[in-house]
Structure 1
């Protein structure tokens, strides 16, 4: 997707190092398009030691707002004009917003986004026990969030107990200061002389002692380690099935893969598990609203339905299915299934045969008769080349039966998205197409034999480039579409 830009376009972006693999432009440019906002979002890769220059330059260039990620979430703070109390308590900024006076104010939408999503799902920390796995960079703000949103106890589990203890102490102090900020002196001591000892909401624990948690009955779990991150997809921090029987709801901060082993274990125990992709999306939504609303004004508010739409597109992007491409022999149901998929996923539809007919203002039968098959195959290749070259996204593509046979086309299709082979038996094809005189390749005294011969020639090629193979003979188009969605692991309800 490319946003239209002109002299009135406002710019937002990301300060990171590296910045090339970010999904943030995808989130924000889709949101801008949804709301008709003349805004474009781009990544800025900031060299080490240059974050002050980057902030100064952003001010001079009238940048509307910025996200900040590793390694600059802490480093950027001294160069901001103001900081939100929550971001101050967390000790990290991931969103910078231009104020009316031209200065920049720092926020942490990682945590507000996470909280907003969980609230929408009916998950509340108030009076609950929360278990956080890990004590790294994500665990600290997560513990702070839980503590400031009413969690009764937050257990911080880590392989190295000293690290868990240090982080727990930092967070307990930060929670106390955040709740009592108006009573504190510059030294962080209560001005009224009260005892400065702060409540121990966050409790450190050795990871191997996780069974001690069973006395808590049910708890919320936030998985904040890198265990299970691609390519280590078959691992979880805790693999004991008994642990998961005590989980009420869980979120894995990892989103590659979308469903981690941790999430699978949670679901197998009957609890609800969410991907970190939700946190990524909602931190972006909170940032987008901050940039496009004046403080205290909420003219721009992303609805749950709009968030779900962007989330589906994010899922497709993560799994490499920026487009879903259907291949198969004639009569396999590609066109009908493509229509079902496009409707379920709210995606655009491209039927290559129809697109060529519209461009040529001739039927395929006429193209075959007038120019020959080779000319038609060249047209197919040119069409797929344009899909790749123009970075078309969010489409369900129904291919002509012979299009994948060219080696070059197979390479192009792999670059364009996920390929689904709708495998169909010859007899089924014959039953569906008998009497159809519009198929040039079926002009034969024995159409069934012709179908068998062609399938024999093509099946191996179809299978060699397919990411997913679905046998369609006993399924309706609607059932095939839902099976594709299930196999891709994409949300559609």
Structure 2
């Protein structure tokens, strides 16, 4: 993996809790390659100019986080099926014809399903949120043949549009919506909101011992959702694990390096990140 410096970064706001620079730094050390990764907290009015500037500065690509996943998706000249269906993108590279995007959150979830031996096929899922992260979770669940996915969201219009779009892609999965505070049932619970990371609190659900819980947020010491799920005996995947997996896929997307060369460092990178940051 040695060679020229791989330049990349993250666009979003706020970014004060992002661990991406540390994570890509760890990948660089383990792989013996130079990775320059910058945080770009920019207002919406400056977003396009900042992206153009990144291209001129030789970036291979960039990550996108809230609140720009859907906005940047609309700027793509090429998008993978997950980004198209979710209407959101979180890994972009500078291609010959323009911006090319990939929803690495969606693919990371699929990798975790396989890695953890968890098959969503025929299972009911409750996803909290209606933004880009919720779209990624919905796509991964539909692609994995979940029986049903309910989006519990405060933005009912966005949730309805997302459910309709994913329902067209995966007719074998029943997509629907419900009020955020409504009673949730299911085998799989996903927190695709900022709760636990940028906002205190947790989704109003009660996982059981047989539940599988994904928390797309992360925080030192864990989140309230993760702690409650673990106390109930559920299997829990935290946002840090998802962050590492999507970073693996983003690095492959930008660099063209074989996935295996990066994946072999994944567990060590995750362990180092937990140790260094107190997770």
Same topology, TM > 0.5? yes
Counterpart selection for 1:170 from 139, 151, 161: 161
Aligned to 1:210: 183
Deviation at 1:55, TM superposition (A): 2.4
CA distance in structure 2 between the aligned counterparts of 1:66 and 1:11, rounded to whole angstroms: 9
Aligned to 2:119: 124
Matched, 1:248 2:239: no
Matched, 1:282 2:278: no
Q: Is the Cα–Cα contact under 8 Å of residues 258 and 315 in structure 1 kept in the other structure?
A: no
Unpaired runs of 5+ residues, structure 1, are: 180-197, 320-489
Alignment of 1:80-479 (within 5 A): 80-99=76-95, 101=96, 103-158=98-153, 160=154, 163-164=155-156, 166-178=157-169, 201-207=174-180, 209-210=182-183, 213=185, 219-229=187-197, 232=200, 235-238=201-204, 243-245=206-208, 247-293=210-256, 298=259, 300-303=261-264, 306-319=265-278
Deviation at 1:67, TM superposition (A): 1.0
What does the per-residue CA deviation read over 1:281-330, in whole Å, with 9 as the maximum and x for residues that have no partner?
21111101212216xx6463412xx22221122223433xxxxxxxxxxx
Aligned to 1:339: none
Alignment CA distance shift 1:279-1:49 (3 Å): same
What does the per-residue CA deviation read over 1:7-64, in whole Å, with 9 as the maximum and x for residues that have no partner?
x423111223344542111111211221222332222333431222222223333311
Deviation at 1:238, TM superposition (A): 3.2
Alignment CA distance shift 1:14-1:223 (3 Å): closer
What does the per-residue CA deviation read over 1:424-469, in whole Å, with 9 as the maximum and x for residues that have no partner?
xxxxxxxxxxxxxxxxxxxxxxxxxxxxxxxxxxxxxxxxxxxxxx
Deviation at 1:209, TM superposition (A): 4.6
CA distance in structure 2 between the aligned counterparts of 1:68 and 1:129, rounded to whole angstroms: 29
Deviation at 1:141, TM superposition (A): 3.0
CA distance in structure 2 between the aligned counterparts of 1:222 and 1:82, rounded to whole angstroms: 28
Q: Helix, strand or coil for the counterpart of 2:108? A: helix
TM-score by length of 1: 0.50
Alignment CA distance shift 1:278-1:45 (3 Å): same
Alignment CA distance shift 1:58-1:71 (3 Å): same
Matched, 1:62 2:68: no
Q: Is the Cα–Cα contact under 8 Å of residues 121 and 145 in structure 2 kept in the other structure?
A: yes
Alignment CA distance shift 1:85-1:137 (3 Å): closer
After superposition, the CA RMSD in angstroms is 3.0
- Which has a greater percent of helix? 1
Unpaired runs of 5+ residues, structure 2, are: none
CA distance in structure 2 between the aligned counterparts of 1:39 and 1:291, rounded to whole angstroms: 11
Larger radius of gyration: 1
Q: Is the Cα–Cα contact under 8 Å of residues 172 and 199 in structure 1 kept in the other structure?
A: no
Q: Helix, strand or coil for the counterpart of 1:11? A: strand
Q: Helix, strand or coil for the counterpart of 1:74? A: helix
Q: Is the Cα–Cα contact under 8 Å of residues 132 and 221 in structure 1 kept in the other structure?
A: yes
Alignment CA distance shift 1:9-1:73 (3 Å): same
Q: Is the Cα–Cα contact under 8 Å of residues 245 and 269 in structure 1 kept in the other structure?
A: yes
Name the count of aligned residue pairs.
Answer: 278
Q: Helix, strand or coil for the counterpart of 1:105? A: strand
